[in-house]
Amino acid sequence: MEKSIDLALNSFPTTPHSLRAEPSIDAPKPDIHIDLASLYHHYYFDKHGKAPLNPDPAQFEQLQYLGPGDHFRITGDGLGFTTASRRNMSSELGHAFCRKFLHDHADIVYFAHIEHVLRRSIHPGFGGLTVSRAPLTGDAPDYFCAESVDKIFLAEAKGRHEAVGFQKKEFGEWRKQFTRVVVKDGSGTARKMKGFIVATRFAVESKPKTRSCIYAEDPESPGERPLSHDESPNLGSAIIALHYSDIARKLNQPILAEALGLGFITPPEIQFPATVWELQIGPFAGRRYIGGYYPSAHGIVRARSHDGKITFLPDDPFRLDTGRATFLGLEEKIFGQLVGIARGGPAPSDGGPPVRTVYPFL
């Protein structure tokens, strides 16, 4: 299922080709379409540490608030029941929109929450680089993110029901957040970091003249000059490791998750037992994944092993409402690379082979 949402860009040197109405004209489309299953994928990976509240992507917990039309519109007065719940839920959904927008239109694949980067900066650090909060009050951006080890960015996500505009006071405050995180080289010189603000305004049914819109801006943090190609890999590799740390935790690999998140080396006697799945049909037939499944709320999914084969059985073959499962997996090759990093091996120079298109729970 898809919903349309309006689009507004500011300070982009060039309009990404995926956002252009005409490929040869540097101007954005008036609106874009959002695949809700893919949006849920980003929402789940950003919000939930392990199992989601309901692993069935068809039961995206925000779907209950969406109106029936083609445009992304919230029923009633907005997400949630109270002002506090609307604020929290709109912020969480805004983070999902930010991640999906940057993934789909800025080629950004890896996301690390800034507090996790700051925690890792204590030890083992990022080579000759240091990352710290500036001695200023207020929030810092939400993410360090990366396209590869040498293409690093900052990102700030916002989601709200109130009006959003590039000239409004709130947007000016959001820009200031990029001054509150500092990346310094070995000489102590602050370096510039390219960044993105992605703010999503959610239109509500009670105000039919308003429309949901993504407002995206392309600012920079203060600094004398950008990081060079040779200076970036230590920080870029850490961002990629933190991204996969969250995935390892969801795959029930807590030791691997901590090793990637904190940057420590695991001794050879610590093993990472895992189940390998190979897809047999469909467009991904033959691909092998490390992972497993989460059962739905209707009940567990029973599996039986016999003569080397695993068979899944319903709880009651005569019932039509027996529980289903949602598979979550990571490609076997990538998993092997992550184990190698946890053993003290080098990070891939390009961050590993990312899946550019996000397929829910693949």
**pLDDT at 346 exceeding the cut of 90:** no
User: Within a domain: residue 260?
Assistant: yes
User: Within a domain: residue 251?
Assistant: yes
**pLDDT at 33 exceeding the cut of 80:** yes
User: Within a domain: residue 177?
Assistant: no
Query: Can you give the pTM of this predicted structure?
Result: 0.88
Least confident piece of the model among 77-86, 147-156, 206-215, 273-282:
77-86
User: Within a domain: residue 307?
Assistant: yes
User: Within a domain: residue 166?
Assistant: no
Other Cβ atoms closer than 10 A to 200: 26
Is residue 59 within 8 A of residue 259, CB to CB? The reply is no
Determine phi and psi for 121, rounding to 5 degrees: -65, -20
Please give the residue range of the domain that contains residue 253: 246-342
User: Within a domain: residue 66?
Assistant: no
Q: What is the mean pLDDT of the chain?
A: 85
- Counting the structural domains of the chain, the total is 1
Between CA 2 and CA 38 the distance in angstroms is 10
User: Within a domain: residue 12?
Assistant: no
Q: Tell me, what's the pLDDT at 289?
A: 94
pLDDT of 294-313, one tens digit each? 776 665 666 777 777 777 77
Between CA 164 and CA 191 the distance in angstroms is 30
Q: Tell me, what's the pLDDT at 127?
A: 81
User: Within a domain: residue 104?
Assistant: no
Q: Tell me, what's the pLDDT at 59?
A: 62
pLDDT of 55-69, one tens digit each? 565 567 777 788 888
Q: Tell me, what's the pLDDT at 137?
A: 77
Q: Tell me, what's the pLDDT at 358?
A: 39
Q: Tell me, what's the pLDDT at 76?
A: 85
Residue 312 structure tokens? 């899944």
Give every CB contact of residue 38 below 8 A, 6+ residues apart in sequence.
Answer: 100, 358, 359, 360
